[in-house]
Structure 1
Amino acid sequence: MEWKATCPYNPKLDLKDCYLYDTTLRDGEQTPGICFTKEHKLDIAKKLDDMGVKQIEAGFPVVSASERDIIKTISSEGLNAEILALCRVVKDDIDKALECDVDGIITFIATSPMHLKYKLHKELDEVEQMGMDAIEYAKEHGLFVAFSAEDATRTPIEDILRIHKNAEEHGANRVHVADTVGCATPQAMHFICSELSNTLKKAHIGVHCHNDFGLAAINSIYGLMGGAKAVSTTINGLGERAGNAPLEEFVMTLKALYEHDMGLKTEKLKSLSQTVEEYSKIKLAENKPIVGNIVFYHESGIHVDAVLENPLTYEPVLPEVVGQERKIILGKHSGCKAVASRLMEQGIETDREHLWEIVKKTKETRESGVEITDNVFKNIVHQILDDKK
Structure 2
Amino acid sequence: MVAFKDLTLREGAQVPGLQISETAGRRVLTQLAELNIGRVEVAFPRAQHRESWFRYADDLGLRTAALARALPKDIDAALKVDPDEIEVIVTTSDVQLEYALGKSKDEARDLLVSNVERAIDGGVDAGVTLMDAMRADNEYLAATAHAASEAGAKHVTLADTTGAGTPDTVSETVTTVGDAVGNDVAIAIHTHDDMGVATANAVAGVDAGASAVDATVGGIGERAGNAPLEEVAVLLAERGDTTELTLDELVPVCRAVHESLGVDVPPGKSVIGNRAYRHESGMHTAAMLKEPSTYEPFDPAKYGGERELLFGKDTGRGAVRALLKNAAVEPTPDRVDETLAAIRIETAEKNGPLTESDARELVRNL
Scaled by the length of structure 2, what TM-score is found?
A: 0.89
Which of the residues 286, 298, 313 maps onto 2:267?
286
- The one-letter code matched in structure 1 to 2:28 is I
Q: How many equivalent residue pairs?
A: 360
Who is 2:57 aligned against? 74
Q: Say yes or no: does 1:254 pair with 2:236.
A: yes
1:236 to 218, 227, 230: 218
2:145 is aligned to 164
Residue in structure 1 matched with residue 133 of structure 2 by the alignment: 152
1:367 is displaced (CA, Å) by: 8.8
How far does residue 344 in structure 1 lie from its aligned partner after superposition? Answer: 9.8
How far 1:360 moved relative to its partner? 4.4
AA of the residue aligned to 1:215: V
Report the Cα offset of residue 331 of structure 1.
2.1
8 Å CA contact 2:39, 2:63 repeated in 1:
yes
Residue identity opposite 2:232 in structure 1: F
Provide the rounded CA distance (Å) in 1 between the counterparts of 2:313 and 2:267.
Answer: 19
Q: Which of 4, 15, 39 is the matching residue for 1:31? A: 15
The answer to whether 1:19 aligns with 2:3 is: yes
Q: Tell me which of 225, 244, 266 is aligned to 2:207.
A: 225
Aligned counterparts of 1:302 and 1:78: Cα–Cα separation in 2: 47
Q: How does 1:280-359 map to 2 (within 5 A)?
A: 280-336=261-317, 338-339=319-320, 352-353=333-334, 355-359=336-340
Aligned partner of 1:141 among 97, 122, 132: 122
Paired residues for 1:266-277 under 5 Å? 266-277=247-258
Change (3 A) 1:340 1:34: farther
Structure 2: 5+ residue runs without aligned partners?
none
Identity %: 30
What code does the residue aligned with 1:175 have?
V
Is 1:139–1:171's contact at 8 Å kept on the other side of the alignment? yes
1:56 — aligned with what? 40
What code does the residue aligned with 2:223 have? R
Q: How far apart, CA to CA, are the structure 2 residues paired with 1:149 and 1:246?
A: 20
SS at 1:272's partner residue?
Answer: helix
Distance 2:78 2:52 in 1: 11
Equivalent residue of 1:175, what SS?
strand
Are positions 1:115 and 2:96 aligned together?
yes
Q: How does 1:185-224 map to 2 (within 5 A)?
A: 185-201=166-182, 202-224=184-206
Question: Partners of 1:286 and 1:364 in 2: how far apart?
Answer: 27
Separation (CA, whole Å) in 1 of partners of 2:211 and 2:187:
6
AA at the equivalent of 1:228: A
Unaligned runs of 5+ in 1: 1-16
Q: Secondary structure at the match of 1:62?
A: coil
CA distance in 2, matches of 1:245, 1:302: 33
Q: How far did 1:346 drift?
A: 11
- TM-score, normalised by the number of residues in structure 1: 0.84
Q: Secondary structure at the match of 1:329?
A: strand
How far 1:228 moved relative to its partner?
1.1
What SS class does the counterpart of residue 190 from structure 2 fall into?
A: strand
